[in-house]
A and B are shown apart, each in its own frame.
Chain A
Amino acid sequence: MTITSSSMSDSSTTHRSTTPSMTQGPLMSFAPIGRFLKELWRDKAGFAGFAFLVLLGLAALFAPLLAPHDPAAQSVLARLKPPIWMEGSVSGHLLGTDMLGRDILSRLLFGARSSLLVSVSVVALAGSFGVMAGLVAGYKGGLTDALIMRVVDVQVAFPGLLLTLLLVAVIGPSTATIIIVLAFSNWMIYTRVVRGIVMSLRQTPFVEAAEVVGCKSARIILKHILPNLISPLLTLAILEFTNIILAEAALSFLGLGVQPPATSWGLDVAGGKNYMMIAWWPITFPGLCIAMTVLSINLFANWLRVTTEPAEREKRYARGRAAKMRRAKKT
């Protein structure tokens, strides 16, 4: 118990430094954010990833203000113009134009909205359903548990992407469809993770004490168990984010995701595909956006995983010391 409680409090301090400060509104203090950034700064790659994600979030939020052009505005005269630093470019189109003369930079900014909208919705939907199923399965045990986990096992072995394609083809492609279909095929991992943790938490004295005192199941689950799930779930959800962004891009690329006139990075790559022999920029920039976003999330998640897990923190510290000693020996 002492080990769990200390590790839990340790892991939740780093977490506490991010979320509650956002919920406290105008009266919030900036100290926790400062502590968070200071700790993040030590991992330069993680910091760079986080910075990129913040910028991306802001770009998506303020896309209508930032975009120099209407992302759907076509121009016959300015078709396939290269980026501004190349010969033959047109002023006003920083990253050039695509085959319909639409401004690529503006499309990238609006495309960020699709990516973030789909990935946030899917992670929220699949996450909340999966976590709930996992909590019930882990806490209730017995027949309920067996039933839920059988469904999970069966669905994990489904032909994932192909079934997604079939569902989208039958329902008809749209942003709402891919959100629902991706949530349907991605909730199981949360259930597995949550159930495992809940089952081990049930054995701990603080949950047993709560049961003895006579707390109702709902109270134990929400007040005693859920807070201990936050740090592993946070890492899992962030990594799931990358999967969903890549899945949305792939589906949109195949023409089964976001539909025009809406914009999406995957859709733009598909649009530029037929012209890639003569123009590299219409497919390069949107693809780069997807890759950079996913890479940033991976770097940040890597830092978060190490930071919220005390054992990993120790390892990182030890490795740092060992490297320092090696360097000292050499000189």
Chain B
Amino acid sequence: MGTFILRRSLQGFLVVLGVTIVVFVATRMIGDPAQVMLPLSATDAQRAAFEQQFGLDRPLDAQFISFVGDLMRFDFGESLWQRRSALDVVLEKLPKTLELIGVGLLLATVIGIPLGALAAVRPDGLFDRIVVGLSLTGLSVPQFWLGLLLIMVFAVGLGWVPTFGSGSLAHMILPAITLAVPSMARIMMLVRSSVINELNQQYVRTAKARGMPFGRVLFQHAMRNALVPVLTLVGWEVISAWAGYTVVVETVFAWPGLGFTAMKAINHSDLFLLQAIVFVVAVGIVLVNIGLDVLFKLIDPRIKEA
């Protein structure tokens, strides 16, 4: 187990290094921070002062070393838009995003797993067709549009919930549903095919032959075995939501999390804040990945260390 965690950590380190290199190449070699961050009317003298302030006039290798050094000390510089440390801004917005992901994926799992399992009972039956149709629709609808439709119907039309912002439980409902829909669709599909597979196994036939009620066969025997790939998928959903796919939902609902802040940072040309968000998220992905791998290994020791 020790070497397993060590190897995963090494891999995680490579990921963070990779992100560092891509961000450095993008911001310092392809793009020009002075051009992105300063207004168009900036004079040459202002540009020079800006470049000197942030060390952009030094050779690239020196810039890279100080860039990496700053990152290792979690020093992301000052957010030009908020006029305070970029890391502070990120840490302040972080809980809101975690809250959204938590509630959204809980919703997706709690609804997706039973529906998928029930659909598997009779493949190609009426209920199965409805579930498959719903998942295909859920996978096909763009999230931003779904969010706007929900606002239009439930917030503007019916007035049941607030249109945007955060604060109360009512604010949470629409963003969580919007975030949950595609994940729910994927979870339903996987649970369905996984349970169909298990229901065709010999042990299910034995259980049925012994006269076990079908509900128990389904939920205690077939489901337990079917859930291992499903857990992997849920873990993957957490990571991909965390990897930036909340940006769209947060922007639609003006949810004050990391994604919405990233969009604001772009609109304010605040490259340092955006960099900070990307790095904190990258480190988060690595940590979540390692955590999930360890968890899965504990649940199912058959998983190989490949």
Shortest CB-to-CB span from B26 to chain A, Å, is 5
- Contact, CB under 8 Å: B136 / A165: no
Stretch touching chain B among A63-71, A87-95, A203-211, A288-296: A288-296
Main secondary structure of the interface of B (DSSP, over half): helix
Is the CB of B219 closer than 8 A to any CB of chain A?
no
Contact indicator B152/A170 (Cβ below 8 Å) = no
Within 8 A of B (CB), among A208-250: 242, 246, 249-250
> Is B285 in contact with chain A by the CB < 8 A criterion?
yes
A166 / chain B contacts, CB cutoff of 8 Å: 23, 26-27, 274-275, 278
Verify A287–B262 contact, CB threshold 8 A. no
Is A37 in the interface zone, CB < 8 Å from B?
no
Once the chains bind, are B247 and A254 in contact (CB under 8 Å)?
yes
Which residues of chain A come closer than 8 Å to B144, judged between CB atoms? 249-250, 253, 266, 269
A283 contacts partner chain B, Cβ-Cβ < 8 Å: yes
- Give the nearest-CB partner of A316 in chain B: B124
Say yes or no: is B187 at the interface (Cβ < 8 Å to chain A): no
A158 within 8 Å of B by Cβ?
A: yes
A172–B2 Cα distance when bound, in Å, is 45
B145–A287 touching, CB < 8 Å: yes
Given contacts A158-B243, A170-B27, contact A269 B145 (CB under 8 A): yes
Give chain A residues whose Cβ lies under 8 Å from the Cβ of B145.
249, 269, 283, 287, 290-291
A291–B142 CB distance below 8 A: yes
Cα–Cα distance between A320 and B123 once the two chains are bound (Å)? 10
A276 close to B (CB within 8 Å): yes
Inter-subunit contact B19/A163 (CB<8 Å): yes
Closest to B283 in A: A159
Tell me, yes or no, whether A328 is within 8 Å of chain B by CB: no
Shortest C-beta distance, B178 to chain A (Å), equals 12
> Of residues 138 to 159 in A, which have CB atoms within 8 Å of B's CB atoms?
150-151, 153-155, 157-159
Give the CA-CA distance A291 to B271 in the complex, in Å.
33
Residue contact A158 to B141, C-beta cutoff 8 Å: no
Q: Is A258 an interface residue (CB 8 A)?
A: no
Contact flags (1/0) for A147-184 with B, using CB distance below 8 Å?
00011011101111111111101110000000000000
- How far is it, in angstroms, between the C-alpha of A153 and the C-alpha of B17 when the chains are bound? 13
Instruction: Say whether B81 faces chain A, with CB atoms less than 8 Å apart.
Output: no
Q: How far, in angstroms, from A292 to B244 measured CA to CA in the complex?
A: 25
Q: How far is the CA of A164 from the CA of B19 in the complex (A)?
A: 12
B281 is contacted by which of A151, A159, A295 (Cβ under 8 Å)?
A159
* A273 and B142 contacting across the interface, CB-CB below 8 Å: no
| Contact partners of A167 in chain B: CB under 8 A | 22, 26
Report the bound CA distance from A207 to B236 in whole Å: 36
Q: B199 within 8 Å of A by Cβ?
A: no
Which residues from chain B sit less than 8 Å from chain A, CB to CB? 11-12, 14-15, 17-19, 22-23, 26-27, 30-31, 36, 123-124, 136-137, 139-145, 148-149, 151-152, 156, 240, 242-245, 247-248, 251, 259, 262-263, 266, 271, 274-275, 277-278, 281-282, 285-286, 289
Interface residues of A (CB under 8 A from B): 150-151, 153-155, 157-167, 169-171, 242, 246, 249-250, 253-254, 256, 266, 269, 273, 276-277, 280, 283-284, 287, 290-292, 294-295, 298-299, 302, 319-320, 323
The 9 closest A-B pairs by CB, nearest first: A161-B244, A287-B145, A170-B31, A162-B244, A295-B140, A294-B140, A159-B281, A154-B18, A157-B15
